[in-house]
A and B are shown apart, each in its own frame.
Chain A
Amino acid sequence: MIRELEKLISLHDLDIMISDLVNKDIIKQEKKLGLSPDLAAVKLRKMRDKLFLTIDRKHRDLYDQLAGHYGNAVVPVINLLCSGCFTQLPTAFCASPDRNDQVETCPSCGRFIYWCD
């Protein structure tokens, strides 16, 4: 998998982690376990910003647009379907053996897509 795509997936997972740590119910449960979700969220935001800046500008601008619009900017392809909009992707589009070696977007919804290896 191309490094840029790995970074986009990591960015997405980091955004999920941060959103979890500002969710009131999750904060309550994590505190019950003795964790410090507030502190973790602050540090994760710093790490997120650092990772964000290492991503190609055109990809990060698109990531922000997609995340703002859909809530999720990166989705896996499952059974030739974009798991964001459930549109079937063209067969030729999916046939390449090195399909994760480039950053691709769904032709229908525009989300970044990757194939589960």
Chain B
Amino acid sequence: MKRQCLCKWNMSSKNWKNAISELLTEFSFKTTTENLLQTALETRELADPTIIHEDIAIPHCRSILVDDFMIIIGKSNSGIPWPKEKVKVIILFITPVKPSGPSEHMELIKHLAKALRSGGAEKILSAESSAEAASILKLSYEEKPEND
């Protein structure tokens, strides 16, 4: 089954913390949940920035605050310092904590690693639309409704 993702094109953030916030906002979490997820993702980045390829970062965590996979692809034309090297594509994902353990989280990492190998990373950097970026990662693209 293809996992769904959201996309945020033309991100306006000028630093990595704001970029995480800008992407989390797209999920329309309640304030407390969003703040706690922001903290978790920031903590992971502070431990070791998740830059996986020149120009691509994958902030991620597992959390008890979500009950389904939350995946969003962000793109910035000017690049966002992460915190030193600039990244242009951000693939943020949060996976739920399930009694079965981290197997689904691992499967998603494996899926992304596979999709980004063999030219996938270069393709996503040059993707011109949300649908194209989602397709490169073999995810199904979910357009965010105009009014929630």
Contact = CB atoms under 8 A, between A and B. Distances in A.
Interface string A59-102: 00000000000001011100000000000000000000000100
A13 interface: yes
A75 B62 contact: no
Contacts of A33: 52, 58, 109, 112-113, 116
B3 interface: no
Nearest to A71: B99
A6 B105 CA distance: 23
Contacts of B116: 33
Interface residues of B, number: 32
B40 A10 contact: yes
A89 B63 CA distance: 23
B106 A44 contact: no
B30 A44 contact: no
A13 B32 contact: no
B contact face: mostly helix, strand, loop, or mixed = helix
Contacts of B48: 35-36, 39-40, 43
Nearest to A37: B48
A40 B58 contact: no
Interface in B36-62: 36, 39-40, 43-44, 46-48, 50-53, 58, 61-62
Given A14-B43, A40-B47, A23 B33 contact: no
Interface string B69-104: 000000000000000000000000000010000100
Given A35-B48, A40-B44, A10 B39 contact: yes
Given A40-B47, A43-B46, A44-B47, A30 B109 contact: yes
Question: What are the 7 tightest A-B residue pairs by CB atom distance, in nearest-first order?
Answer: A43-B47, A40-B48, A40-B47, A29-B109, A117-B30, A33-B52, A13-B40
Given A13-B62, A30-B109, 19 more contacts: A10-B36, A10-B39, A13-B61, A13-B63, A16-B61, A17-B44, A20-B105, A25-B106, A26-B109, A29-B109, A32-B110, A33-B52, A33-B112, A34-B51, A36-B48, A44-B47, A47-B46, A72-B97, A75-B64
